[in-house]
Amino acid sequence: MNLNEHTKKYIALNKWFNSPQGLWVGKAFADEIICFNSQLRGERLLQLGHCGQNPWLNSLHYRRNFIVSPCNNQPRTTVATLFNQLPFERDSFDCIIAPLTFEAYSFDKNPIDELDRVLKPMGHIIFWGINPFSFWGLALKLGCLSVFRDIKTKSTSFFSVKHALLSRGYRQCALSTFYYIPPINQEKMLNRLEFLNEMGKMLWLYPAGFYCLVVQKHEIITPSLTLKTIEENYLVCADSPVS
């Protein structure tokens, strides 16, 4: 994906999060992450893309929040960059939020390897995505959603995202599906259909529109050289004759 197309997508995504439909979905994202925020805390957080009011950031316990975007004219944007070329050092962040990242990228060109590079060991990544088996996934496939304006895209199932992360040594911390209101954009209809979210938690009517996947980065810990030196010194002393 070239920079121009990438920029268009994220300008459209930010506008969509400020629409009535996007505001409701953004609130649902914020409500969903509250269930996990007790384990999400640290020094530095990185978010991919500016998403309207970013309501979920207020509930997370990180001292510094960084928002990267290919658009350099959006408020609160720390730096303008492509997500597979992040200008940060290895192990820079305690948490990364990736809202609809797999919808913005094709699955074979996603920035997972770059996210893995800048995430600290034991850090978390939060993925929000559109369930391809839901009404939202169908609407996105048919081009009926204005999430990325008129640029064609498709959603990726959480099974595929989870497999890609687990194969890189990550561990799943949480996985949930939520938001049962169909992809409509009229404020009055959104208010009238709010009860569907509560019904969906109790009675499975049809697949939820979105998923939230939280994973943690694990790395193999090797014995330190200090411990090895202490062990060697102990063996030398043990072999020495007692004076």
At 121-157, the pLDDT tens digits run 999 999 999 999 999 999 998 888 889 877 778 888 9
pLDDT greater at residue 238 or residue 218: 218
Q: In 86-217, at which residue ranges do the beta strands (DSSP E only) sit?
A: 93-99, 119-130, 170-178, 210-217
**Dist. CA 120–CA 123, nearest whole Å:** 5
Q: Please determine, for residue 229, whether its predicted confidence score (pLDDT) is greater than 60.
A: no
Largest CA distance in the chain: 92
* Residue ranges of domains in the chain: 3-239
pLDDT in tens, 81-95: 989 899 999 999 999
**What's the average model confidence in pLDDT over 198-227?**
80
User: Residues with Cβ < 8 Å from 108, sequence gap 6 or more?
Assistant: none
Fold of 3-239: Rossmann fold (3.40.50)
For 176, other C-beta atoms within 10 Å of its C-beta total 15
Residue 38 confidence (pLDDT): 79
**Dist. CA 137–CA 69, nearest whole Å:** 24
Residue 135 confidence (pLDDT): 94
Tell me the pTM. Answer: 0.86
**Dist. CA 32–CA 141, nearest whole Å:** 25
**Dist. CA 27–CA 112, nearest whole Å:** 26
pLDDT in tens, 99-126: 999 898 877 778 999 999 999 999 999 9
- Structure tokens of 177? 């599906």
